[in-house]
Structure 1
Amino acid sequence: MDHWWVVCVITTMVLLAPIIILGRKRRLRTKAGNRTHLPLGTLGWPFIGETLEFISCAYTARPESFMDKRRVKYGKVFKSHIFGSPTIVSTDAEVSRFVLQSDAKVFVPSYPRSLTELMGKSSILLINGSLQRRVHGLIGAFFKSPSLKTQITQDMQKYVQESMESWEDDQLVYLQDQTKNIAFQILVKALISLDPGEEMEFLKHQFQEFIAGLMSLPINLPGTRLYKSLKAKKRMVKLVHKIIQERRTNNMARAPRDVLDVLLNDASEQLTDDLLSDNMIDLMIPGEDSVPVLMTLAVKFLSDCPLALQHLMEENMKLKRRKHELEEPLCWGDYMSLTFTQNVITETLRMGNIIIGIMRKAMKDVNIKGYMIPKGWCVFTYFRSVHLDEQLYEEPYKFNPWRWQETDMGTSNFTPFGGGQRLCPGLDLARLETCIFLHHFVTQFSWEAEEDSIVNFPTVRMKRRMPIRVKRRWDPPFPSASL
């Protein structure tokens, strides 16, 4: 698989060589005065730049080694040439914050061609200006609403319990598969109110086909990965279109029960059915990718740190007993009150770096902290290097949830969900879902984790899907108060 990816990259570079040559000449025609302000660095080999070395490092246990080597030589901000474009790489927290906070007049999203084709021009990841702010604001406000948090809490508890009830003592459970199944159902319910059943299974199958093409060769011919993924998206769009038409036909005045209702209730003519369908599908990605991986990595790191696991289990057992004595169900506020559990999630985000960084394209010449970013160049803000910087975090490669008792999360040194106008709108829900999963998992089971390793490219995941052998702790002396 790793060799296949390298072959894909080389093939892509060869196919794009004429475009790259012309684009490179145009972009490098900067004024002599500006050229002197470019960060130090090298553009690497003709056509392919430093892409192969970047990918080679990305598959190792320490993908940031590509950045570390250049940081020592050139500084925290340097120039390179990766994925077909001259690029300014930032491992400097302040520079990255400036890029994240800038609007579309300065920087716009820049993604591989296969991803942009699959997402579509109306995707929230690609649109800019007032439309992006409108869609992002509507979704973000709903994700923060008490009604959704109540619904998510109830649904998450239900799906987690249903999944865990089938686990037998000494059973080998592939945790990454289990968390994907749970998180995907939760997010789809929040987006379009689809319950488990035939349509959910159809959507899940098509979505897996769709997401497989996000980092593929940009060739849309029958039989190619991109072609298959685009076909899968069309089938999903058809299903979402049907749901949209049913709601427009019913035209029921009611409080929004999901994200689709929120967007349908908006009076803006810009929110077309195609835009709604594309974004409902794009917003499912965290349910298949980032949130399940967050849950899985939390268990991985806890497995390697018995002291943290013991502390977390005691905190959660204390809450479970207290809610039983009060004869009250667990609610959103209860989960968010689990201070150490939240610190475990925060430390998992820092070390796991599920989103390693973002790429933007400069719309004009930009000066940041004395560095020149020429118009047309890409900027790669590499979060992983910041999160693992020993100048910012003591023993950065050590899983230490206790560090967050005194460390402020609201700084530019910690950006696991991005920042600025494109800050992930579902960040609170990701934390909530992970907290609920950990609570039920650690209060019901002990486990032994089999040997596994983290793969960091093209997305973060466990190589063997995190196999664990579970054992129920005991039959609880009281019925679950959370259901």
Structure 2
Amino acid sequence: MWTLVGLSLVGLLVIYFTHWIIKWRNPKCNGVLPPGSMGLPFIGETLNLIIPSYSLDLHPFIKKRLQRYGSIFRTSLAGRQVVVTADPEFNNYLFQQEGRMVELWYLDTFSKIFVHEGESKTNAVGMVHKYVRSIFLNHFGAERLKEKLLPQIEEFVNKSLCAWSSKASVEVKHAGSVMVFNFSAKQMISYDADKSSDDLSEKYTKIIDGLMSFPLNIPGTAYYNCLKHQKNVTTMLRDMLKERQISPETRRGDFLDQISIDMEKEKFLSEDFSVQLVFGGLFATFESISAVLALAFSLLAEHPSVVEELTAEHEAILKNRENPNSSLTWDEYKSMTFTLQVINEILRLGNVAPGLLRRALKDIPVKGFTIPEGWTIMVVTSALQLSPNTFEDPLEFNPWRWKDLDSYAVSKNFMPFGGGMRQCAGAEYSRVFLATFLHVLVTKYRWTTIKAARIARNPILGFGDGIHIKFEEKKT
């Protein structure tokens, strides 16, 4: 009798789990889901995505599924039901639907780092988004760059490269991160790395390490350390904000000052949100530019003809000046035609942000399929930027290709800074910083690769043990 009862229970469990797995693999949808697989329960297909790929090509997880299912497919990543799209027309349509059909979305680990102590406004639209965009443009946009920041960036790059040249070698990804972060932090919170007792760039390095780790909040884990450093930084920013509000004489005319003043006028600028905004702004400047710089050194080492033309362009700028020692001007930056082509090509190949995440606010019809409400949508910009339909020999580093590319095709298929109303407000700042760095580099320094890196995607661009470079000042 007990044997029969035991067998019956086992049978019921088998039926239950079979039903549950079938339900997992075939989610509810008011229509037809895009083709694809949901993978294993809970895990989904996450493990396939985080396996490193040692190539600048699309990560195999994405590439194989695009070949198998077409430009739109479904999957499950980190416990989320996801539709992946590499369709240029649909992607552009989505970017125009912010706040109506989709909203900005983050992975859970990212949200836990950037959303704390109150309601998040990271995906806000309307008045809040307009304010956030305007304050960043006020401090890092084209007008600010033209009027004030360009010569300051050049001075900061000069100082950094001079310091690097005194060392046996420099790991350029980390050194670049510190350089860009310290300059941006100076503009945002008047941070002086040489005088501060807190090494903020090191704290942000630990935060990024934890951001890409498994979210296990146990002492000793990368994620635990990430949360600890995040708390330390936000506490410091909160104290600075309070001091600026209480003691106007401590104000420096920076990003933090503008927020502290605007808090008196804008109801949505709570203390929590203001601290979150500064914390996120510092993070945004930290990683992307340095990754592009590191990739630049890797690509330029393999293409001396590009270095030769870059050098010629920048030496011509110096020769055309009345005073060769004067600072870079905005007109000179705008004249860097080949330099900006090189930057575009590095951005295209680098795909520092391989995908942009949105969440469906309602059922979305697309090409005979339906993306259900609540699902995450991953816009794979990297698939567009490596498409042979737009870019001939897409894995070849060829800055000259940008002379002949159709501007309309580029606008649909080249989105290193996102698209639509969410396009990165720091796009011009990133280009100016990169162009200025290249200007100082090729006119004043020689460099030798001491140790090359094994470039990997998982799917974020990584550089293994780093790219180690020896810098030497040119003799005049």
Q: By the TM > 0.5 criterion, same fold? A: yes
Match for residue 87 of structure 1 among 75, 82, 86? 82
Contact 2:243-2:250 within 8 A present in 1 as well: no
Aligned match of 1:452:
453
What is aligned with 1:295?
293
Which residue is 1:187 aligned to? 184
Q: Which range is displaced more, 433-442 or 212-221?
A: 212-221
Superposition RMSD on alpha carbons, in Å?
2.8
User: Does the Cα contact within 8 Å between 1:27 and 1:375 map onto a contact in 2?
Assistant: no
The one-letter code of the counterpart of 1:214 is L
Find the aligned partners of 2:398 and 2:181 in 1 and give their Cα distance: 29
Q: What are the Cα deviations for residues 408-432 of structure 1, in whole angstroms up to 9, with x where unaligned?
A: 2761211111112221110100001
1:4-153 aligned at under 5 Å gives the runs 28-31=27-30, 34-35=31-32, 38-56=33-51, 58=53, 62-120=57-115, 125-144=122-141, 146-153=143-150
Q: Give the alignment of 1:79-478 within 5 angstroms.
A: 79-120=74-115, 125-144=122-141, 146-168=143-165, 171-199=168-196, 201-251=198-248, 257-266=253-262, 267-323=265-321, 325=323, 328-407=326-405, 408=407, 411-449=411-449, 450-457=451-458, 459-475=460-476
C-alpha distance in structure 1 between counterparts of 2:190 and 2:23, whole Å:
47
Q: Distance in 2 between the 1:390 and 1:123 partners?
A: 40
Contact 1:156 1:433 in 2 (8 A): yes
Change (3 A) 1:201 1:333: farther
Displacement of 1:116: 0.6
Per the alignment, in what secondary structure is the counterpart of residue 347 of structure 2? helix
Per-residue Cα deviation, 1:22-57 (whole angstroms, up to 9, x for no partner): 9976992223xx12xx22222223332222222226
Contact 1:112 1:215 in 2 (8 A): no
Classify 1:296/1:323 alpha carbon distance in 2 versus 1 (closer, same or farther; 3 Å).
Answer: farther
Number of positions where the alignment pairs a residue of Structure 1 with one of Structure 2? 451
Looking at structure 1, the residues matched to 472 and 175 of structure 2 have their Cα atoms a distance apart, in angstroms, of: 16
Task: Give 5+ residue unaligned stretches, structure 2.
Answer: 1-16
Deviations, residues 138-159 of structure 1 (Å, cap 9, x unaligned)? 3234422534544332332222
How far off its partner does 1:465 sit? 2.0
Structure 1 428/124 Cα, relative in aligned 2: closer, same or farther at 3 Å? farther
CA 1:72–1:25: 2 relative to 1, 3 Å:
closer
C-alpha contact (below 8 Å) 1:57/1:65 kept by paired residues: no
Question: AA paired with 1:67?
Answer: I
Give CA-to-partner distance per residue, 1:243-264, whole Å, 9 cap, x none: 212322344799x943223333
Residue 316 (structure 1) shift: 0.7
- The separation in 2 between residues aligned to 1:360 and 1:187, in whole angstroms, is 27
Q: Structure 1 CA distance, aligned partners of 2:197 and 2:182?
A: 8
Partner of 1:11 in structure 2?
none
Q: Which deviates further from its counterpart, 165-174 or 408-417? A: 165-174
Amino acid at match of 1:98: Y
Distance 1:93 1:319, change over 3 A: same
Percent identity over the alignment is 28
Deviations 1:61-82 (A, max 9, x none): 5443222222222211112222
Instruction: Report the counterpart of residue 7 of structure 2 in structure 1.
Output: none
Spell out, residue by residue over 1:83-137, the C-alpha distance to the aligned partner (whole angstroms, 9 max, x if none). Answer: 2122211111112222222212321233222211110156664444542333223
Give the secondary structure class of the aligned counterpart of 2:217.
coil
Q: Return the alpha-carbon distance in structure 2 between the equivalents of residues 330 and 42 of structure 1.
A: 53
Q: 1:318 to 1:444 in 2, by over 3 A?
A: same
**Higher alpha-carbon deviation: 293-302 or 124-133:** 124-133
Largest Rg, 1 or 2: 2
Q: 1:369 and 1:191 mapped to 2: Cα distance?
A: 45
Given residue 199 of structure 2, which amino acid in structure 1 is its aligned partner?
F
- Counterpart CA distance in 2 for 1:116 and 1:299 is 33
Residue range with higher mean Cα deviation, 225-234 or 160-169: 160-169
TM-score normalised according to structure 1 size? 0.85
Distance 1:101 1:81 in 2: 25
8 Å contact 1:365–1:372 — kept in the other structure?
A: yes
Give secondary structure in 1 for the equivalent of 2:321: helix
> How far has the Cα of 1:201 moved from its partner?
4.1
